[in-house]
Amino acid sequence: MPYDMHGLTVEWNQSGPEMRDYLLFYVNGKQHKVAGEQALMPLSSYLRYIAFATGTKVVCEEGDCGACSVLVGRLQGDDINYRTLNSCIQYLYQLDGAHIITVEGLTQPNGDLNPVQQSMVDCHGTQCGFCTPGFVVAMCELYDREPSPCPQAIKDALTGNLCRCTGYQPIIDAGLNVPVEEITRLRELYPPESIRNELLAANQSEVEFVHGKHRVYIPVNVEQAVAYRAKWPEATIVAGGTDVCVNINKRGFDPQNVLSLSRLQGMNEITIDGDMLSVGGSVTLAKMEDFLREKLPQLHHLLWLFGSPQIRNAGTLAGNIANASPIADTPPAMFVLDAELELISTGGKRRVKITEFYQGYKKCDMQSNELIHRIVFQLPAANEVLKLYKVSKRKHLDISAFTAAFRVSLDGGTISDVAVAYGGVAAVVKRMPELEKFLKGKPFTLETMHLAGKVALDEITPISDVRGSKEFRNQLGRNILLKFFHEVNQAGRTPACRQ
Ligand SMILES: Cc1cc2nc3c(=O)[nH]c(=O)nc-3n(C[C@H](O)[C@H](O)[C@H](O)COP(=O)(O)OP(=O)(O)OC[C@H]3O[C@@H](n4cnc5c(N)ncnc54)[C@H](O)[C@@H]3O)c2cc1C
Ligand code: FES
Ligand code: FES
């Protein structure tokens, strides 16, 4: 039923099977139907205690170690696309309509170890073995996607997996020595046609169930999602769950009403029209990372530094923005790109500039009946330099202490236009209007950047916390300007590469 909302025609697919009050998914090729209390479990607990797939280990329960990694497959056309996820921060209601493969499910059809497992044995890649299933799962996903990965691709695929006793070199050696020709591809282990119709049907039906004081709803389309949001404004939206589910596991958060966006159709597209980019509200960071490789390498690089593959395979750009953390990685980039958020409710759509979205610590200009439908921004022009910075103790899998983004136009040696945003220096991510005013029209010299450092200091009010002291952040607020200057001068305007 197409209808018009604020000039934008929206097509809703109203047809589909009836509402279900149970979850339906597959584990290692077998169908599971789950209702009641079990439907509120994290996937890792369900796998270990209900499905007895105890190869999946649990250590941190907050997405940091990868011991609980599993492959989650979702329909993509006629195929099933598998990605590694942390099962400890995926609740079962996020897995409806998915196919989950655990380490047990990676055994060769003849019962032999998977070649990746055999390589771990041969290269002495395991000692206590607690981390090993997670490494095996992550490596199997890589080999399924990229049959001849380079050493860097192996390291990248394993950044979300921690090992405390073996040391990483034997594990990387195992990755480098997998006998590729012996690998049975996932689509051969689990032919998509054997479960495709069931998954398709599952993904076309809404799910709603109540258990005790808990209510969960899984819509199929945006219209259903906003209707639920209007009816239950107190419902917690769960997209990738990489923020929400950590709060459940570690901070005693007990959402009594959940609106799960995990298989929402209509918000999962990333598109480009001319130089305008549109990122749907359920697009994962991994999908965005892939899409932007050539189109916006600076943001692609920042996403490569974001969390780990497991986190990026679940987490979304909308979730990173809506979570409203002052040290979230993507908002500074969105600030200097002048991104706009398209919010949707039953009343229609409205646009908010991201620079006006944050109204105070964790306070946003978003009504309780609204969803982020998509994020829209323009790619930088050819004469603009874009640089994005993340300062953290570790390169990967670490939350930032400080972030910065610069978009600058240089006309000869003069700064003709400039946008700067800092994160980690106030209660919200900040555009830096005084700094921008100071820089505009000035010669692009080291002296200008030194003087600009003083202006920046007057504009920020960092605090001390576990990630860095106030003094450290003040220092970064000045030094980042010098780094920016040297990088632009030395490297010209080429984007930062992986190093
Ligand atoms: C181990 C680990 C590492 C991490 N590393 C990083 C990092 O390097 N950098 C970084 O910035 N963050 C990091 N994070 C935080 C987190 O991954 C990101 O904030 C992520 O983008 C959140 O997206 P999500 O879809 O998982 O959000 P969710 O947890 O599902 O939701 C987060 C918030 O956004 C709201 N929300 C989600 N989607 C919408 C929507 N469409 N409309 C309205 N509201 C919505 C939810 O209600 C909730 O309040 C990390 C988290 C973990 C666990
Ligand atoms: S148990 Fe550590 S990431 Fe899940
Ligand atoms: S083998 Fe013990 S933690 Fe990796």
Ligand 3 atom at minimal distance to the Cα of residue 165:
2
- 239 and 309 housed in the same domain: no
CB atoms within 10 A of CB 427: 15
Closest ligand (CA of 250): 1
168 and 206 together in one domain: no
Q: Which ligand 3 atom minimizes the distance to the CA of 135?
A: 4
Whole-number Å distance, alpha carbon 315 to ligand 2 midpoint, is 15
Please check whether residues 120 and 60 belong to one and the same domain. Answer: no
Q: How far is ligand 2, taken at its centre, from the CA of residue 135, in Å?
A: 12
Does residue 5 surpass a pLDDT of 90?
A: no
CATH number at residue 20: 3.10.20.30
Q: Which of 132, 159, 183 is the last residue of a domain?
A: 183
Cβ atoms < 10 Å from Cβ of 482: 14
- Any domain includes 498: no
Reading phi first (left if > 0) and then psi (alpha if -120 to 50, else beta), residue 252 is in left
Residue 66 in contact with ligand 2 by CB distance below 6 A: yes
At 17 the pLDDT is 64
Q: How far is the CA of 279 from the centre of ligand 1 (A)?
A: 15
Check pocket membership of 311 for ligand 1, CB cut-off 6 A: yes
Q: What is the pLDDT of residue 491?
A: 64
Ligand 1 site, residue 63, Cβ cutoff 6 A: yes
Give me the residue label for tokens 């394993």.
158
Distances (CA, A) of 426 to 29, 264, 450, 461: 49, 34, 22, 5
Other Cβ atoms closer than 10 A to 110: 6
405: in domain: yes
Same domain for 60 and 198, yes or no, is: yes
| pLDDT, position 27 | 98
Q: Based on the fold, state whether residues 224 and 161 are members of the same structural domain.
A: no
**Residue 167 near ligand 3, beta carbon < 6 Å:** no
Whether residue 13 is predicted with pLDDT greater than 80 in this model: the reply is no
Percent of the chain predicted with pLDDT > 70: 95
With a 6 Å cutoff on the Cβ, whether 47 touches ligand 2 is no
In a domain, 204, yes or no: yes
Atom of ligand 2 nearest to the CA of 64: 3
Shared domain check, 202 and 90: yes
Q: Is the pLDDT of residue 153 over 70?
A: yes
Check if the beta carbon of residue 403 is closer than 8 Å to that of residue 327: yes
Do residues 203 and 152 lie in contact, with contact meaning Cβ atoms separated by under 8 Å?
Answer: no
pLDDT band at 9 (very low <50, low <70, confident <90, very high): very low
What does the alpha-carbon distance between residue 201 and residue 348 come to, in Å, rounded to a whole number? 29
Closest among 481, 13, 76 to 224, alpha carbons compared: 13
In the listed set 237, 260, 283, which residue is the last one of a domain according to the structure?
260
* Alpha-carbon gap, residue 337 to 320, rounded angstroms: 16
- Can you give the residue range of the structural domain that contains 404? 384-491
Q: What is the pLDDT of residue 18?
A: 80
pLDDT in tens, 378-398: 999 999 999 999 999 998 999
Q: Is residue 497 part of a domain?
A: no
Three-state secondary-structure class, residue 315 = coil
Assess whether pLDDT exceeds 80 at residue 10: no
Same domain for 77 and 205?
yes
Q: Is residue 320 part of a domain?
A: yes
Q: 454 CA distance to ligand 3 centroid (A)?
A: 48
Distance CA 489, CA 408 (A): 13
Q: In angstroms, rounded to a whole number, what is the distance separating the alpha carbons of residues 337 and 309?
A: 25
CATH number assigned to the domain comprising residue 483: 3.30.390.50
Distance 231 CA to ligand 2 centre (A): 34
CB atoms under 10 Å from CB of 30, counted, come to: 11
Residue 25 neighbours by CB under 8 Å, 6+ apart:
31, 32, 34, 92, 95, 96, 97, 98, 99, 100, 202
CA distances from 329 to 285, 298, 317, 334, 401 (A): 11, 13, 10, 10, 10
Please identify which residue in the block is written with the tokens 């890649």: 125
Assigned domain for 472 exists: yes
Is residue 396 one of the residues assigned to a domain? yes
Q: For residue 129, how far is its CA from the centre of ligand 2 (angstroms)?
A: 15
User: Where residue 414 falls among pLDDT bands split at 50, 70, 90?
Assistant: very high
- When mean pLDDT is compared across 11-20, 161-170, 254-263, 438-447, the lowest value belongs to 11-20
| pLDDT tens-place string over residues 51-94 | 999 999 999 999 999 999 999 999 999 999 999 999 999 999 99
Question: pLDDT tens digit string along 37-51?
Answer: 999 999 999 999 999
Pair 305, 348 in one domain: yes
Task: Please state the domain count of the chain.
Answer: 4
Q: Evaluate if residue 118 carries a pLDDT over 60.
A: yes
Mean pLDDT of the chain: 94
| 53 CB within 6 A, ligand 2 | no
List pLDDT tens digits, range 308-356. 999 999 999 999 999 999 999 999 999 999 999 999 999 999 999 999 9
Query: 346 and 230, same structural domain?
Result: no
- Residue 368 pLDDT > 80, yes or no? yes
Q: Is there a single domain that holds both residue 304 and residue 326? A: yes
Q: Do 172 and 310 belong to one domain?
A: no
Which-ligand-closest: CA of 65? 2
Residues 81, 226 within the same domain = yes
Among left, alpha and beta (phi > 0; psi -120 to 50; other), residue 230 is alpha
CATH number at residue 307: 3.30.465.10
Q: Is 207 inside any structural domain?
A: yes
- C-alpha 132 chain-centroid distance: 24
Q: What is the pLDDT of residues 453-488, one digit of tens each?
A: 999 999 999 989 988 999 999 999 999 999 999 999
Locate 64 and state its tokens.
Answer: 């940091």
CA of 202 to the centre of ligand 2 (A): 28
